[in-house]
Chain A
Amino acid sequence: MADVTPMRTGAETALVDMFPAVKASLPGTAKVADARKAALERFQAVGLPHRRIEAWHYTDLRGLLREAAPIAPAPDASAIASVQSAGDPLGDIDGIRLTLVDGHLVPTLSALDRLPEGLEVTPLATALAKGHPLVDAHMGSIARAADDPLPALNAAFVSDGVVLRVVEGTALDEPIIVRNVLTGDTPAATFTRILLVVEEGASVTLVENHEAFGGVAHQGNSVVEILVGDRSQVEHVRVNARGGNGFDLSTLGVRLGEAATFRSVALAVSPAVTRHQIGVVFAGEGASLSVGGGALLNGSQHADTTLLVDHAVPHGVSRELFKHVLDGEATGVFQGKIVVRPDAQKTDGRMMSQAVLLDDGAAMNNKPELEIFADDVQCAHGATCGALDEDLLFYLRARGLPLPEAEALMLQAFVGEAMELIAHEGVRTVLEGVVESWLRARM
């Protein structure tokens, strides 16, 4: 492996060359600037991941990412006005809104001056420029630049985002909704980041909605790090309905405290390539985790969910449920690994990945893994993939549903099972609506 030094691809060269051109405009203290440089060097050393790297075997990003789009320019007044007038897909939900436009937090579209008690929000650009104790203590500690090229690139180029602190014992009734909107009509890259620190006994729902105008093939690289404090409860929902055959690369890193509860559901619709990588560490005993996801693809689209659940301590419970709907020549990838360390007795882990293939050209790669070093545990994994059940379709058709409607009803139920993991009813309804529109467009 080490003796192979492939030539840099055009996209790799563009990313490396972009850094000196933009680094002066990126926010941060001298210390942050050093960290950016180190992260870029890290990326430079390994390049874009490719199929000879095991964790990327089914998603050859070096081959898939032909051109690196330029970084989105900071939004001007008209870009901001266009977001304001375009309407909010989550508009029906009462929530604490924080809006990133073209990779930059826009205060006029954010609830910075009307936050509920117990919630502190700092724009990440400000935190990087002035220093921030939570950034110093935690940023990059869960989704580490050293582990993977995606957080490395993000650490080098990150423009903005939010630092969120939910103070001990605070129960936030309304979800925090982070909208991440791209306005440009030519492909642009964004590198955004959220750091959420939930202190002991607090509870919060965080929703990320990735939006774009007019189906442009943007390239997003987002990192979310969440520290779930002892006995706190966190729900995280991520939606990417940007479409437009863009790239959506995301890394979610979570650390669970004692008796903490964490739920996360991600939904991806029609990107050219999406890679959602999730790493969860059980750092405190008795925590519980449920992670779910759905991807709806057609054409030559590609969706990869890569999950690592690390049970480092005893009495952890984890549940994972992922659903892929693959039409045309789309490819789905699920790589899930549950690690149970020697001390993590009484761990209870279950992982399931299911795919429906709607066309002969579609393909699913499932790679579930268990690595168990403790002897008193319950762990299971399963993977299924196949066509829709002909007998069920006949039953529905015999009741009067035309084939496309019968398929849509079954697919909605299939993906719905993962969406049901979302506790917040309003948010769940929005995601079900996103699924429904994809299915309707197919009919």
Chain B
Amino acid sequence: MLEIRNLHVQIEDKKILNGLTLTVNDGEVAAIMGPNGSGKSTLSYVIAGKEDYEVLDGEILLDGQNLLEMEPDQRAAAGVFLAFQYPLEIPGVATMTFLKAAMNAQRKQRGEDELATPDFMKRVRAAADKLQIGQDMLKRALNVGFSGGEKKRMEILQMALLEPRFCILDETDSGLDIDALKIAADGVNALRGGERSFLVITHYQRLLNYIVPDSVHVMAAGKVVRSGGKELALELEANGYADYRSQAA
């Protein structure tokens, strides 16, 4: 279970999150919607541990562990995974090298044995096939020269291989055409189940047709201002965020 309590965050003296409180239960898919500038991406970075943000108050607990006291890599090993809105290109680092380094680094932190190469290859191949990621993509430097859709699929591939406990999808739908969106959503849906929970951040209801959430939360001016079931997304799509903008102000 992920619990965020009264979270206040600023960056360069600008307050972004203002007492955000949110609980995501085991196995739950929670969607966060909200207008631009409401602090959605900040929330995802703060959970993952980006250093640019200053946490003024509040807690983030994953199964009772205080994430705010952990380094980003320790959070990853504890099961936090952030699928980036803009996955970064890393020239000179082959995708396979990166995948192996990441998987083994997490295993090492958890005190598990490193993966043997044949086992690693088998896992990558199986997961890549499902996401229609070809061998040529795996041979290239990570995300370098990939299209927007390829980069997002690569994020889902990493998610599948790292088997996280808590996944954050930061606007995974941005820059995707409808076919690419379906492939990405299928990849996510295949990972649903058990205790694994998701925080799906999006502007648009469209993504939620493919990844159907258990709960929907509306964010405005740095906090959750309304929560509801999946039907809330449809209401937002129809009425827009105008009500919440005024409410936040």
Contact = CB atoms under 8 A, between A and B. Distances in A.
A413 B82 CA distance: 24
Nearest to B88: A395
Contact of A395 (B90, B91, B141): B90
Given A392-B88, A403-B73, A409-B101, A397 B49 contact: yes
Nearest to A397: B72
B102 A399 contact: yes
B50 interface: yes
A311 to B, nearest CB: 29
A56 interface: no
B46 to A, nearest CB: 12
A438 interface: no
Q: Interface size class for chain B?
A: 20 to 34
Interface in B165-219: none
B92 A414 contact: yes
Interface string B133-158: 00000000100000000000000001
B109 A410 contact: no
Contact of A397 (B73, B81, B158): B73
Secondary structure dominating the interface of A: helix
Contacts of A392: 88, 90
B57 to A, nearest CB: 23
Given A397-B49, A399-B158, A405-B105, A413 B91 contact: yes
Contacts of B88: 391-392, 395
Most interface-central of B48, B72, B88, B105 (chain A CB within 10 A):
B72
A418 B102 CA distance: 25
A394 B101 CA distance: 15
Interface in A358-414: 390-392, 394-403, 405-406, 409-410, 412-414
A409 to B, nearest CB: 6
B82 A403 contact: no
Contacts of A413: 90-93, 141
Q: Interface size class for chain A?
A: 20 to 34
B162 A400 contact: yes
Contacts of B52: 390
Contacts of A401: 73, 101-102, 105
B91 to A, nearest CB: 6
B106 A400 contact: yes
B244 interface: no
Interface string B77-91: 100111010011011
Most interface-central of A390, A395, A416, A417 (chain B CB within 10 A):
A395
Contact of B82 (A398, A414, A416): A398
A398 B75 CA distance: 8
Interface string A251-293: 0000000000000000000000000000000000000000000
Most interface-central of A391, A410, A413 (chain B CB within 10 A):
A413
Interface in A30-67: none
A414 B71 CA distance: 25
B120 to A, nearest CB: 14
Contact of A400 (B50, B51, B93, B109): B109
Contact of B71 (A390, A396, A403): A403
B76 interface: yes
* Shortest beta-carbon contacts, A-B, top 6: A413-B92, A400-B106, A400-B76, A397-B72, A399-B102, A400-B105
Interface of B: 48-52, 71-73, 75-77, 80-82, 84, 87-88, 90-93, 97-98, 101-103, 105-106, 109, 141, 158, 162
21 contacts: A390-B52, A392-B90, A394-B50, A395-B88, A396-B90, A396-B98, A396-B102, A397-B73, A398-B49, A398-B75, A398-B76, A398-B80, A399-B102, A399-B158, A400-B102, A400-B106, A405-B105, A409-B98, A413-B91, A413-B93, A417-B91
Given A398-B50, A400-B109, 9 more contacts: A390-B51, A394-B72, A395-B88, A397-B71, A397-B73, A398-B76, A405-B101, A405-B105, A417-B91
